[in-house]
Amino acid sequence: MSDNGTYERLIHLLDSTNTAYKLIDHEPEGATETVSALRGHPVSEAAKCLVLIVKVDRQVTRYVLAVVPGNRRVDLNAIRALFAARYVGFCDAATAERLAQAVPGTVLPFSFDPELELVADPDVIAQPCLYFNAARLDRSLAISGADYTRLAEPRVEPIAGPVAS
């Protein structure tokens, strides 16, 4: 599915569930800190979305979409413990793009692929207003953390590292 198809799928999901959201057009940007400034909100209110490869053992590999606040890093050790895995790392770009159905910098905090397990940090879903690129570099979306949780149904686990200084 192309970026545009993923964007359309997201908008259809929001519209069909009568979910309140706000679209924000801006200069094309995928870096969390920079796009947060363009959107005019603190980086902590952004959803940083990372596709991870989780090797549970030699035969079992899983893929995880980890969603953490924009001002924090994903705690790979927390993911490793969560899945009782022997290895956790960042997924290669081609696999990440296939699973997330979006290019890097535009990955949604939603999983539309059953192979991609969604895990969100509690500080993400607690946001009154959560911002993320809407599967496009030039358009973002704002939604409440409660609505995000209701629609995305993430597994909620503490997976964010400390606040970056």
| From 2-6, 14-18, 74-78, 142-146, the region with the lowest mean pLDDT | 2-6
**Within-domain flag for 156:** no
Q: Quick one: which of 99, 20, 10 has its CA closest to 52?
A: 99
Number of other residues whose CB lies within 10 A of the CB of residue 120: 27
Here the CATH number for the domain that contains residue 117 is: 3.90.960.10
**Within-domain flag for 118:** yes
pLDDT tens-digit series, residues 104-159: 899 999 999 999 999 999 999 999 999 999 999 999 999 999 999 999 999 999 99
For 58-163, where are the alpha helices, taking DSSP H only?
A: 76-82, 93-100, 122-125, 145-152
In a 13 Å sphere around the CA of 25, the CA atoms on its Cβ side amount to: 0
**Within-domain flag for 102:** yes
Q: pTM of whole model > 0.85?
A: yes
pLDDT band for 164, please (50, 70, 90 cuts).
Answer: low
Structure tokens at 90: 């960042």
pLDDT band for 165, please (50, 70, 90 cuts).
Answer: low
**Within-domain flag for 116:** yes
**Within-domain flag for 50:** yes
Range of the domain at 26: 3-151
**Within-domain flag for 162:** no
**Within-domain flag for 158:** no
**Within-domain flag for 161:** no
Instruction: Give Cα separations from 151 to 38, 71, 78, 104, 130 (angstroms).
Output: 26, 23, 24, 22, 13
pLDDT tens-digit series, residues 8-55: 999 999 999 999 999 999 999 999 999 999 999 999 999 999 999 999
Q: How far apart are CA 74 and CA 70, in angstroms?
A: 10
Q: Give the total number of structural domains in the chain.
A: 1
